[in-house]
Structure 1
């Protein structure tokens, strides 16, 4: 099992990155909380990973630290939560914030995340309560320094690079095109990087 990758960050297009280690390039899907902590392209990064093997695909998920990976592993054990939803949850809140939601039974914060309905949120609060003890907080352990598709494609043409990357990331996380565009336009400021724009958009939708 692949548990950690140390290599050069070749590409980063949220929510995916490409890291080259030992002459091999690894495509890794990561939550936005980890994405924010990545170094610049061309620099070395260390990412903790979780490898998923399915009949139709082999997927590698990455995290800034062990606590994020632990939360991901516990989330995908929950009824009705797959890797994609787990990444969406972790992109919308930190490990500490998720633990707080569970401890205080804050269902309202969870249902604001795309794809998380009230029943799913309530189930998460119940199922995750006993699993939180398996998550060791290590916040200092960061990484190193189809009809709708046509409208989405036409939207990209009118956006600058940072807006395109932000829209792509939000769509990959499960947000609807119209919702994502509205928030991006509301929070965008001149010279904003894509990472800053994604962060502000997610914060505005929280």
Structure 2
């Protein structure tokens, strides 16, 4: 019989033969539209996160990322979160039938989760279907499973993004940051058709970081 032991250096425990990671404290060495890489003790851990470019400001700096591990026959996958509260919300989301880790990350890509909580409490399935990978049946299941269970979710009202009116729009040349943000939206599961609807308005913003373009794009998508 296998016991449980803690490896404090890696912040993981072993139950049976499976090593389960709680968090990693290491250096961010790479960001992409799909994942980040955190280096620890000479190893680079590929970690899928909701908004990889959120970590661009921390390149070559030490961060703590809370982890959820998914073990499949063909891969061992790590999903990362900036706070323990974010991880707990993710675990609640993927407990709903029809929501996998990819859909869970897409739902969490918006830093402000007030719309999610309000939609579930108000039984607004239409709003929930705006998230990629969430159909009407899954939206109804989210309401059934999560209503009244998200009281501990922190609502971020500290940061607001001003969305341009039609009169404010003008076309600018695409930038690398904008292109990266669009790739990140695709990585979250948004379709070319959905992105096309907001692309002109997204292009109207100038001198934004990839992270800022992505945040604006997500807000625009939830308004459509």
TM over 0.5: yes
Structure 1 pair 3–95 and aligned structure 2 pair: CA distance change class (3 A): farther
1 CA distance for matches of 2:95 and 2:75? Answer: 19
2 CA distance for matches of 1:35 and 1:96? Answer: 22
TM-score, normalised to structure 2, is 0.74
Report what 1:72 is aligned to: 90
Residue 169 (1) aligns with residue 184 (2): yes
Please state which structure has a larger fraction of its residues in helix.
1
1 CA distance for matches of 2:131 and 2:110? Answer: 7
Unpaired segments ≥5 residues, structure 2 = 1-19, 157-172
Report what 2:60 is aligned to: 42
Superposition pairs for residues 13-162 of structure 1, below 5 Å?
A: 13-32=32-51, 36=54, 39-92=57-110, 94-129=112-147, 131-132=149-150, 136-137=152-153, 159-162=174-177
Task: Answer whether contact 1:37 1:64 (CA < 8 A) is retained.
Answer: no
1 CA distance for matches of 2:202 and 2:81? Answer: 27
Which has the greater radius of gyration?
2
Structure 1 pair 38–69 and aligned structure 2 pair: CA distance change class (3 A): farther
2 CA distance for matches of 1:186 and 1:89? Answer: 22
Higher RCO, Cα 8 Å, sep 6+: 1
1 CA distance for matches of 2:63 and 2:69? Answer: 18
Task: Answer whether contact 1:114 1:173 (CA < 8 A) is retained.
Answer: yes
Task: Answer whether contact 1:49 1:61 (CA < 8 A) is retained.
Answer: yes
Shift of 1:56: 1.4
Shift of 1:41: 0.9
Shift of 1:36: 3.0
Report what 2:24 is aligned to: 5
Report what 1:205 is aligned to: 221
My pick for the range that moved more, 103-112 or 91-100, is 91-100
Unpaired segments ≥5 residues, structure 1 = 141-157
Task: Answer whether contact 2:68 2:79 (CA < 8 A) is retained.
Answer: yes
Q: Encode CA deviations 1:23-73: one digit per residue, 9 max, x unaligned.
A: 1111001113x8536643111111111011011111000001111111111
Task: Answer whether contact 1:31 1:87 (CA < 8 A) is retained.
Answer: yes
Report what 1:191 is aligned to: 207
Shift of 1:179: 2.8
Structure 1 pair 160–186 and aligned structure 2 pair: CA distance change class (3 A): same
Structure 1 pair 186–88 and aligned structure 2 pair: CA distance change class (3 A): same
Shift of 1:194: 1.0
Q: Encode CA deviations 1:82-115: one digit per residue, 9 max, x unaligned.
A: 1111111111464444333222222222111122
Shift of 1:122: 1.0
